């Protein structure tokens, strides 16, 4: 009975190692794809790495496939860190989410509305405390 349990432990260990190698290769492919997308969109891939954020089952053409989501950080102008994501099924890129330059420039942002004089919002001034401790 001891030989059977040893064999079972060995098979489980080999399966874990195989899964780890497969996920490592998938992560390398996601890093390459993130790098390619950043170059294409004029962004800088920070830290040159991606991290697995999640996995989900997705139905495509009647088949259930495992889709992986990887996150990474990019820089638009070298002074910021913005999130990015790539979704992959196997070696195929299925989705990309990257920040845009327009969303970071106040003059070009579509949701940027300059304040009007009729606003009823009063800006708050910082208080000057004699003592820096909070009471």
Between strands 44-60 and 63-75, the pairing is antiparallel
What contacts 50, CB < 8 A, 6 or more positions away? 27, 30, 31, 34, 70, 71, 72, 86
Highest mean pLDDT among 13-22, 39-48, 99-108: 13-22
Distance from C-alpha of 69 to C-alpha of 48, rounded to nearest angstrom: 16
Phi, psi at 44, each rounded to 5°? -105, 125
pLDDT bracket for residue 109 (50, 70, 90): very low
Q: In what order do the strands lie in the sheet with 82-89?
A: 44-60, 63-75, 82-89, 92-97
Q: Is the pLDDT of residue 100 over 50?
A: yes
Give phi and psi for 89, each to the nearest 5.
Answer: -120, 115
- pLDDT for residue 33 is more than 90: yes
Q: What is the pLDDT of residue 131?
A: 52
Q: What is the mean pLDDT of residues 78-106?
A: 81
- Please state, in angstroms and rounded to a whole number, the distance separating the CA atoms of residues 93 and 107: 33
Q: How far is CA 130 from the centre of its chain?
A: 44
Structure tokens at 91: 């070696």
* pLDDT at 42 exceeding the cut of 70: yes
């Amino acid at each position: 009975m001891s030989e059977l349990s040893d064999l079972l432990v060995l098979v489980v260990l080999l399966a874990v190692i195989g899964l780890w190698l497969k996920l490592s290769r998938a992560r390398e492919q996601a890093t390459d794809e993130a790098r390619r997308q950043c170059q294409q969109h004029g962004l800088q891939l920070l830290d040159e790495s991606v991290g697995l954020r999640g996995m989900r089952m997705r139905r495509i053409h009647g088949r259930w496939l495992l889709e992986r989501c990887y996150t990474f950080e990019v820089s638009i102008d070298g002074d910021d860190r913005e999130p990015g994501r790539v979704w992959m099924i196997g070696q195929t890129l299925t989705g990309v989410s990257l920040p845009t330059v327009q969303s970071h420039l106040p003059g070009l942002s579509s949701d940027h509305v300059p304040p009007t004089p009729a606003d009823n919002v009063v800006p708050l001034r910082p208080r000057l405390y004699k003592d820096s401790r909070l009471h």
